[in-house]
Amino acid sequence: MPSIKRASNRQENMLFLKRLIKNPKALGAVAPSSKALAELVARHVRVDETTYVVEVGAGTGRFTRGLLDAGIAADRLIVVELDRELCLYLRTNFPDITIIHGNATALDQLLPPEIVLNVETIISGIPLINLNKDEQMNLIKAFQNTLSPSGQIIQFTYGPVSPLSHKKLGLTAIRLGHVFRNVPPATVWSYTFHNGMLPRKRRHPIQIYFIVAKKRARQTFKKVKESKAFR
């Protein structure tokens, strides 16, 4: 079983309130998601021993905990969070999970190359209704560049209708259900890309090798540069 350091509800709620006051638009909720909402999302996640689940906009980790409780392996789950303080909180409470600090609009660049196009489900806690059309488009493009050809996006929203103009974005939308035991009540959607979208080939192992080598070279150069700056 993965290590989960359960923070107290008071600690979690205080952190949530603090981040909500600082940036209400980015958080997009008035309280952490309920266990009932997390359970509904977890029931519809698709993943196996060769694919991955990516959660973006994890907040305080209510969905993360729900996914682990549902039996999803820690090494198959990757979490991306934009808020630095929430990211630190997640790393403390979920030490066995890969937690990445970054913007989901660059998701295909944030993830290790061998995982890109091997993601079967992306779970989004990003408040899409707070994004303009261009921001939504950039986010969905990043999701498409990350998902496997059969992959899906699971998104929850507090409105009764789809938070995405799915037809314009080339998506097929399915309403998975409503959760009234949540503040406020939520609706969960699943989105998949139309078959008519441009086909995407999986990266050849040699391509992955050169991408990884280039990334490591940049990191080494950065460390050398930083070490010289402190001399």
Residue 8, Cβ density class (10 Å: 0-12 exposed, 13-18 middle, ≥19 buried): exposed
**Is there a contact between 33 and 61 (Cβ–Cβ < 8 Å)?**
no
pLDDT above 90 (res 52):
yes
Strands (E) in 105-184, as ranges, are 119-124, 147-157, 171-179
Look at 60-74, 159-173, 217-231 and tell me which has the smallest mean pLDDT.
217-231
Tell me the pLDDT band of 194, cut-offs 50, 70 and 90. confident
pTM given for the model: 0.76
pLDDT above 90 (res 207):
no
* Mean pLDDT of the residues in the chain: 84
Q: What is the pLDDT of residue 216?
A: 78
Main-chain phi, psi angles of 115, to 5 degrees: -95, -30
Tell me the three state secondary structure of residue 92.
helix
User: 9-200 in CATH: which number?
Assistant: 3.40.50.150
Q: What is the pLDDT of residue 196?
A: 41
Q: Which of 10, 57, 22 is nearest to 157 (CA)?
A: 57
Q: What is the pLDDT of residue 197?
A: 46
Q: How many residues does the chain have?
A: 231
In DSSP terms, which residues pair with 152 in a beta bridge?
Answer: 121
